[in-house]
Amino acid sequence: MSKENTYTEDNIRSLDWKEHIRLRPGMYIGKLGDGSSPDDGIYILLKEVIDNSIDEFVMGSGKTIEISIKDHIVSVRDYGRGIPLGKVVDVVSKMNTGGKYDSKAFKKSVGLNGVGTKAVNALSSYFRVESVREDQIKAAEFSQGELTHDFKIEPSTQRKGTKTVFIPDESIFVKYKFRNEYVIKMIKNYVYLNLGLTIVFNGEKYHSENGLKDLLQENISDEDMLYPIIHLKGDDIEIALTHSKSQYSEEFHSFVNGQHTTQGGTHQNAFREAIVKTLREYYNKNYDASDIRKSIVSAISIKVMEPVFESQTKTKLGSTEMGDGLPSVRTYINDFVKKYLDNYLHKNTEVADLIQRKILQAEHERKELSGIRKLAKERAKKASLHNKKLRDCRVHLNDFKKENRLESSLFITEGDSASGSITKSRDVNTQAVFSLRGKPLNCFEMDKKVVYENEEFNLLQAALDIEEGIENLRYNNVIIATDADVDGMHIRLLLITFFLQYFPEIIKEGHLYILETPLFRVRDKKETFYCYSEEEKKEAIEKLKGKPEITRFKGLGEISPNEFEHFIGKDIRLAPVMLDRETSIEQLLTFYMGKNTSDRQEFIIDNLKVELDTLVE
């Protein structure tokens, strides 16, 4: 037998807890990322620490949590009971150790597997934990999970509670950056779900008086609501819902014990079923489920004893039982919705009439589109077989699983040269490419049949699998990759309009990005720098002595495949497309894509003046 094929006791190795976390971080925090996506690892680290403080609040201790993020240093301070001083080191460095196994101490906690803060500790270059209780303080410091300072218990006049400070390890989270928009959204969700809680982030206070009603008002403008938000609460359940006037697909936000279950689970499925069942019974009509849920914007939060999630990142609930002697999750939610939503509709018949008209409108549109949809699906199937517009990635070529989506991306490119370069240099396992032909249609104020009648939109919708909403979205990151010129910017704007008009949840849920590609290549015989701005170009010229060669990239097709590897790989720069809560989608599209030429012209001139003034300075 050859030496390479031997398998003996020498091949067997045991990893300690921190080695395993650092070797397989994805098992504990999902994907790594650089902070450009809301589900990147640095936000999971922050969430794991905040979850512990939230659990303290839920148990009646500590109404304020203070969070600060500055220069990669993250600090979270709560005023809960504090970790028992003799167990401070164990709680953050020994697997399967924590107070949440004791249901007397933490009745409806999020974290039950004893991994959370250990993962943060192992994946941080610096980690410090302090606990104050009974007028004493205990602190410990770590680096990459290794204990570096174990401080003695000392007297303290500080308020009781726990403080955690950490710096994510740059050897794992390469060139990362915390985006305040994502942190603030996370914080707002926490306060919506925990009335009476105040979170202070970098000096700004966040508080909620109306729970899930406030959450929906954050996600839909008053002008776009078909009727005022229906807000219903029980002992272990809270729901809120309305219908959008303009949105086509359904939008659900779901939570368990304060945890945002972005991938849904048993509770979200039960809620969707319960709404359909209740409305069918109320109207005594067997309406199609898709017609009832079309354009709905809703949220549900439940509290479960010892919840079971389908992964360490706790984004999908697997539990079928509520615990505490209550019926199953499905029965509990169905009974609550049946009783309280039905009562609401009987008391508010004008709202009931609006909902029924919306259902009938959806039914009419669905039937009108049925023939077009069938033909469009056949065209999409033919195109995918023969035209090769979509060059898929390996994780999707066989049996698609939702968990694979986290690591997958789709580049939407213009023209054959750009798509060819990206296709040759991409990671074939996780990156797919969709090639556009010509400029997309300006679809502002057009109804949804345009999506089926327009070949490019129809094929893009099919590639993403979003016809019935984004629940089946095949790629976590949808990346617009266009040239850095006027035509490229126009195509980018037309694609964003498409998503805003028909699938705004893709943007709301943080799936749409712009690929940032270098504007310049600065090089000499020894070194090459790719620069994304004039400032970076100047810095590169200063670093290279003599007269370097400077190339201005105008189009993606000008960049060779071997160069593309530098900026669609681990150093990829993505700019997330985000929505401003202050401006409704309708207002946004009307201003930028409508016929208000004079207003838009004035806006462009004013902003051009500001840009020129900045350059002169």
Domain boundaries, the chain: 17-206, 212-364, 387-517+555-582, 520-552, 589-617
Let me know if domain 387-517+555-582 sits in CATH 3.40.50.670: yes
Q: Of 104-108, 125-129, 405-409, 560-564, which gets the smallest average pLDDT?
A: 104-108
% of the chain surpassing 90 pLDDT: 43
Which residue(s) pair with 77 in the sheet?
Answer: 66, 163
The predicted pLDDT at position 446 comes to 84
Q: Which residues contact 233 (CB under 8 A, 6 or more apart)?
A: 211, 239
- Is residue 306 within 8 Å of residue 323, measured between CB atoms? yes
- Is residue 151 within 8 Å of residue 195, measured between CB atoms? no
Q: Report pLDDT digits (tens) over 396-439.
A: 655 555 555 777 899 999 877 778 888 888 988 889 999 888 88
- Considering the segment(s) 212-364 as one domain, its CATH architecture is 2-Layer Sandwich (3.30)
The predicted pLDDT at position 614 comes to 46
Burial of 354 from C-beta contacts in 10 A (0-12 / 13-18 / 19+): middle
The predicted pLDDT at position 410 comes to 94
Residue for token digits 């270059």? 125
The predicted pLDDT at position 104 comes to 45
Q: What would the two tokens of residue 198 be?
A: 């105040």
Q: What does pTM read for this prediction?
A: 0.82
Residue 113 has pLDDT above 50, yes or no: no
Sequence-ordered alpha helix ranges (H) in 110-168: 116-122
Sequence-ordered alpha helix ranges (H) in 287-390: 289-293, 329-347, 349-386
CA atoms within 13 A on the CB side of 578: 14
What average pLDDT does range 58-82 have in this prediction?
94
Cβ contacts of 366-372, under 8 Å, gap ≥ 24: 366/288, 366/290, 366/291, 368/449, 369/448, 369/449, 369/452, 372/449, 372/452, 372/453
CA–CA gap between residue 19 and residue 123 (Å, rounded): 10
Q: What would the two tokens of residue 306 be?
A: 């010892």
| DSSP at 407 | G
Burial of 297 from C-beta contacts in 10 A (0-12 / 13-18 / 19+): buried
- Is residue 513 within 8 Å of residue 574, measured between CB atoms? yes
- Considering the segment(s) 17-206 as one domain, its CATH architecture is 2-Layer Sandwich (3.30)
The predicted pLDDT at position 115 comes to 65
Q: What would the two tokens of residue 572 be?
A: 């990829």
Neighbours of 314 (CB within 10 A): 27
Residue 316 has pLDDT above 80, yes or no: no
Q: Report pLDDT digits (tens) over 442-451.
A: 888 888 888 8
